[in-house]
Structure 1
């Protein structure tokens, strides 16, 4: 099994986001779950990868050519795929994994999350998606998602495609028993 993790090229304020990234990397490696991620050695991306590698895990990075120097492509991974652009990056990461987890991050993290969530709604993939809600980071997003449901732009069963927990282990446990929904957007 491999899980794709979306996270930041920055570490955020304080130490809690870096600590969460390291804990998730160690957890995945400790359970024999491969990590697929954005391929950089900076920010929480680098912390996540380094922790998984230090714990003996498989780590596969996918990075666009343009970001090799900006995000500083990680040179010590199990595999590093250098691709043409962000579209190819997301498609390759989705191809290589069995589920998705988003740590706190910026616009890129949200863009990746929303794309795979949309793909799940459309039936393009049947893979679990989770958010690690470190210190309530995703609480405003969760409130907005509820607003989308109450305003009739998102069905409750599509909201429920997102697992949310403060503990990465709980998400990984939920992924192990997860069954795909039979309800796509057009059903």
Structure 2
């Protein structure tokens, strides 16, 4: 790992509204302005494409990690500073883990949730001490966190587990939590 911080961003790779694309651009720009490397899923579409384009436009170093099977579906970001093509999703997450000092989850679908939960769970289990940040200005994840909060006291989810991710509503606060 280089001395430059690398932040992995999990987010939607499909078509979403402009407010989500703007959020992705703000995060990508903010990462680059801090002199950090952006690690992403390696696609050019949706929020994933916006975060990487914004980071590059602000002079940032971008690393895209994409499975062979998604090179065409997510339209591999050939413009990334580094584009790493791996055999599958497990290798993708391992590569993203190895290259990242922190994670930020933005709104996204099943893939984003799966990536967030893996980073969150491994942090809670003390398998790493990297920040796991949920940046959610519009309340996208409110229902998820309400459901999880409702599991407290049932034996399924503990208070310490729920306190593991840093939840913020502002991009600067998300980046500060990664620092």
Task: Identify the TM-score tier after normalising by the shorter chain.
Answer: over 0.9
For 1:60, which of 43, 59, 63 is the aligned residue?
63
Contact 2:7 2:178 in 1 (8 A): no
Residue-by-residue CA offset, 1:53-102 (whole Å, 9 max, x unaligned) = 00000110000001001111001111011000000000110100001100
Identify the residue that residue 99 of structure 1 maps to in structure 2: 102
Alignment of structure 1 residues 99-118 onto 2, 5 Å: 99-118=102-121
- State how far apart, in whole Å, the 1-side matches of 2:165 and 2:174 are: 10
Instruction: Structure 2: state its 5+ residue gaps.
Output: none
User: Residues of 2 paired with 1:77 and 1:19: CA distance?
Assistant: 20
Paired residue for 1:158, among 154, 161, 169?
161
**Which of 135, 155, 173 is the matching residue for 1:170?**
173
Unaligned runs of 5+ in 1: 177-187
Given that 1:37 and 1:45 are in contact with CA atoms closer than 8 Å, whether structure 2 keeps it comes out as yes
Question: Which consecutive segments of 4 or more residues in structure 1 shift more than 3 A?
Answer: none
1:44 counterpart = 2:47: yes
Q: How many residues align?
A: 175
TM superposition score normalised by structure 2: 0.94
